[in-house]
Structure 1
Amino acid sequence: MSTHPRTSDGTADHDRPARPANAVPGLNALLVPTTELYLDLHRHPELSGAERRTAARFADWLEADGFRVVRDIGGHGVAAELHNGDGPAVLLRAELDALPVAEDTGVPYASSATAPGPDGRPVPVMHACGHDAHLACAAAAARWLAARRDHWRGTLLVVGQPAEETLSGARALLEDGLYERITPPDEVLAQHTAPFPAGMVAHADGPVMAGSVTLEVLFEGDGGHVATPHLTANPLLAAAGAVVRLPAVAAHASDPAERVVVAASSLRTGNTGHTGNVIATSAVLHVTVRAFSEAALDRVASAVEHMVREEAATDPLSPRVTVTVLSRSGITLPDPDLTAAVRAAHRAHFGAARVTGWPGASATEDFPLLTGSGAHLHGKPRIRGAYWMLGATSPAQWRAAPGTGADEKLAALPANHSPRFLPSVRLTLETGTAALVTAALARLGPPTARTVECPQTDIG
């Protein structure tokens, strides 16, 4: 039996990185309620568009700290602001929603929640992407800053965004007047958990995440008997042929130097309940394209549409084809000057060894809408944004991962959206809270103190 006290995720105190020299009391006292909030959110996840309880917990927390809170924006979105004299308006953004994933972590606080799925049947729900940690860190950072208004000047904004996983929440917030209902931000800051060592943060010199286009392809026929397939169009056959051809589309429609992903995410037919003697009247195929430039997204999405129509036309009795864009997200490309300033703030606080680079991931986000598409609503060409990655893997998880080098271990660790994705509670919350606070302090006033270097702070 170990004599070292352990956190709820099994991390021993001696595994934790040393506190920076500039730490003073403040974060330790905040960590207890922050952890309680995180564990509560983790146990009670809610799907995109159904985040009523999660939003209420977040809004109540911010309201208790003196923020003016606006609820139910774009669904269950939460926005809060705290004025503290003249100065810039800086927004901290986190997400509310979880995923239809059955948790398989084995921790005592694992989710057993279910929610109605698309067909009305219950599906398991889990915070498999770390949004519960993002919310808890944002809540803690907001509380720390609200209690220390002598450290900054300006307007602090905090947003809990609904429906990020469906890439619809940011647009819903903006269409529901987010930037008319709170002070329009000058800058937006956000972070995201990832399976690299907890206690670290990572910044990209270019895109942090890819842009995406998700297509829904509907193949329709008149149905028929499987004994006479020559008498009717077969939507399933056309859809299956399209799936097989997707890798060739990615290869032929993109430059070898481009990072492009084309993948089928689901295929279903309209003959649910039949036992195999009916040719379905329809088949629905979902295809996602990921790329790091808008031009590549447009080109490859167009190639996918051309291919599915061509595939359907190969049958003498061709099914009808309808292609719909279900969602589109831009490339998460932070402002380079703001990124440099936040990176410098993180290095000043954490030390250079805990601040690393990020190569860009083919995952996608609707964060760019909050800094781009929404900016015209208040007469600005663009809102500057900074976005960094937050390590979430505990030292114990890292040691247990197979492989001898970092690349092998990173490939073996459960990634976001996995049923076994499990952030290190204490390290993730401590580091994520400190990362948000130091970034916010570097960007808030007094205006004469706004430089690319981080002021000394009293958080660990």
Structure 2
Amino acid sequence: MTLESHRPFIEDLYRELHASPELSNREHRSAARMAELLRGLGFEVHEQVGEATGVVGILRRGEGPTVLVRADMDALPVTEAEQVPYRSTVTDQLDGQTVGVMHACGHDTHMAGLQGALHVLVDQDDWSGTIVAVFQPAEEVMQGAAGMQDALRELLPGGIDVALGQHVMPGAAGEVQTAAGPIMAASDHFIVTVRGRGGHGSQPEKTIDPIVLAASMVLRLQTIVSREVAPAERAVLTIGTFHAGNKQNIIPDQARFEINIRTFEPAVRQRMIAAIERIVQGECQVAGAPPALIETGDIAPLTINDADAAARVGAAFDAEFGEAHVPSPQYLGSEDFSYLPAVWGAPYVFWMYGGFDPQLVAEARERGTFDQDVPSNHAPNFIPVLQPTLDTATRAMVAAVRAFLA
């Protein structure tokens, strides 16, 4: 059977997954569905692999390399914009609040594309080796891959020869991007608790207002990239949450915010971490407040494609996609995928594919409005076009696997 014969199944699976997203480490329904489909293909299936809802399927077919292929399963606490009939209306509880849940980073395309590729590969009889399919939880909180490491080591004591993964991006559907070397940034997460002295809103002189103090930190922290990182060195600092107080006429005793940084160079990373400490504690000292508490959160490593493996995948993509295969830029987004091959010190290749109408993308680039007109990952309108996005994800994974097993 060909991709054309599997296309209705792949599209229906994508719609099903898109309409029923689950937050990190809560991917129970998605995991059960992936396991069910793997069993139907004849895979040896392992569920609840690792610390959460991981699924691993193993298909052995004669002598040859062992290739690990991965798709992530978790969604985000984002309320979806109403654009498609299969939109998500799911809600869940997170940090005591009711939040919308959406596949706003395209993990539904990853699952559907990998299942599609596995269906196509099972139908083909001209390859030999072992496929290890990993459906991973909790990528969005950078915990899922690390949480599966010990279990994978036990399941596959002989190791793997290569690991393959892919991600949908805000580019033209039908386009595939690969490159050797660093392609995605390292990520660090810090939680800052600013401690002041609370009191009545009418008597600020008797308090140390942590909101004013934290606000000053937020503004000053933005100068790290603009004034302490060289323009030639790529880095990002984002403050994604800010929480303080519960009533308008009470000055609270603390404020809390979270920082995310993305870097490619270890020296830049260390410089930014030191600057965060210096600015936060310096502002506390100026305000006469006690030192702030700075805690470390989720961490993701650099994603560095192996040169030889990337060349092999790139050649396969040249043959499969022609001019639609283009060099990948370095993305300041981050991934925990590389924790999986790190279990055995194996090489890996991670690539990108576009998910949006090619004409929209081309016109937006020509107008210089790409950032405004093409949705970005994690946005409430990040809803890839059905085709050729899913065909591309399926074809890319099939071609990459066959580059090692055919």
What band does the TM-score fall into relative to the shorter chain? Answer: over 0.9
Give the C-alpha shift of residue 147 in structure 1: 2.5
Partner of 1:109: 86
> Is 2:259 aligned against 1:287?
yes
Q: What's the offset of the Cα at 1:208?
A: 1.8
1:185 is aligned to 160
- 1:133 alignment counterpart: 109
* Structure 2 counterpart of 1:277, from 249, 262, 277: 249
Match of 2:388 in 1: 427
Q: Quick check: 1:194 aligned with 2:169?
A: yes
Deviation of the 1:152 alpha carbon: 1.4
**Secondary structure of residue in 1 paired with 2:391:** helix
Is this contact kept in 1: 2:312–2:403, CA < 8 A? yes
* Cα deviation code 1:127-148 (max 9, x no counterpart): 1111000001111111222222
Q: Which moved more, 1:201-210 or 1:50-59?
A: 201-210
Distance in 2, matches of 1:136 and 1:152, equals 22
Question: Residues of 2 paired with 1:142 and 1:158: CA distance?
Answer: 8
d(CA) in 2 for partners of 1:291, 1:211: 5
1:152-172 Cα offsets, whole Å, 9 max, x none, are: 111101111101111111111
Paired residue type of 2:355:
A
How far did residue 302 of structure 1 move?
Answer: 1.9
1:304 is the counterpart of 2:279? no
Q: Structure 2: where are the runs of 5+ without partners? A: none
* Superposed CA RMSD: 1.7
Q: Tell me the distance in 2 between the aligned counterparts of 1:41 and 1:179.
A: 29
Contact 1:294/1:331 (8 A) holds in 2 = no
Q: Which residue of 2 aligns with 1:391?
A: 354
The answer as to whether partners of 2:35 and 2:55 remain within 8 angstroms in 1 is: yes
Any idea what SS the aligned residue of 1:240 has? helix
Count of matched residue positions in the alignment of Structure 1 and Structure 2: 404
Segments of structure 1 that go 5 or more residues without pairing to the other structure are 1-24, 376-381, 446-460
Contact 2:43 2:59 in 1 (8 A): yes
Q: What letter matches 2:165 in structure 1?
A: A
Q: Deviation of residue 238 (structure 1)? A: 1.8
Rounded Cα–Cα distance in structure 1 between residues aligned with 2:272 and 2:10: 43
The one-letter amino acid paired with 1:308 is V
One-letter amino acid of the counterpart of residue 287, structure 2: D
In structure 2, the residue corresponding to 1:109 is in which secondary structure? coil
Residues 223 and 409 from structure 1, CA distance in 2 versus in 1: closer, same or farther, beyond 3 angstroms?
Answer: closer
- List structure 1 runs of 4+ shifted beyond 6 angstroms: none
Residues 1:366 and 1:281: Cα distance change in structure 2 (over 3 Å): same
Please give the alpha-carbon distance, in whole angstroms, between the structure 1 residues aligned to 2:126 and 2:332. Answer: 38
Distance 1:308 1:410, change over 3 A: closer
Pairing partner for 1:90 from 67, 71, 75: 67
Distance, in Å, in 1 between the alignment partners of 2:224 and 2:321 is 44
**Which residue in 2 is equivalent to 1:354?**
324
Secondary structure in 1 aligned to 2:333?
A: strand
CA shift, 1:226, in A, is: 2.5
Q: Deviations over 1:242-270 (max 9, x none)?
A: 1010122223432331001112111101x
Instruction: Report the Cα distance in structure 2 between the residues aligned to 1:34 and 1:358, rounded to whole angstroms.
Output: 26
Q: Structure 1 residues 410, 339: closer, same or farther in 2, change over 3 A?
A: farther
2:173 and 2:387 in contact (8 A); partners too? no
Q: CA 1:403 to 1:345, structure 2 compared with 1: closer, same or farther past 3 Å?
A: closer
- Distance apart, 1:205 and its partner CA: 4.0
Change (3 A) 1:174 1:104: same
Offset, 1:343: 0.6
Residue identity in the other structure for 2:87: A
How far apart, CA to CA, are the structure 2 residues paired with 1:308 and 1:143? 52
Give the residue type in structure 2 aligned to 1:261: V
Q: Show CA shifts across 1:436-456 (max 9, x none).
A: 0110011125xxxxxxxxxxx
Structure 2 distance, partners of 1:277, 1:393, is 47
Q: With the length of structure 1 as denominator, give the TM-score of the two structures.
A: 0.84
Q: State the one-letter code of the partner of 2:94.
A: G
Matched, 1:344 2:321: no
* Equivalent position of 1:170 in the other structure: 145
Once the two structures are TM-superposed, the CA of residue 368 in structure 1 deviates from its matched residue by 2.1
Question: In 2, distance between residues paired with 1:255 and 1:284?
Answer: 29
Q: What is the match of residue 22 of structure 2?
A: 46
Q: Which residue of 2 aligns with 1:371?
A: 341
Residue 186 of structure 1: how far off its partner (Å): 1.8
Q: How does 1:28-47 map to 2 (within 5 A)?
A: 28-47=4-23
| Mapped contact 1:103–1:125 kept (Cα < 8 A) | yes
- 2:37 is aligned, of 51, 56, 61, to 61
- Asked if structure 2 preserves the Cα contact closer than 8 Å seen for 1:223 and 1:232, the reply is yes
Q: Distance in 2 between matches of 1:442 and 1:249?
A: 43
1:80/1:182 contact within 8 Å kept: no
Amino acid in structure 1 at the alignment position of 2:347: R
3-state SS of 2:38 partner: helix
Structure 1 411/389 Cα, relative in aligned 2: closer, same or farther at 3 Å? farther
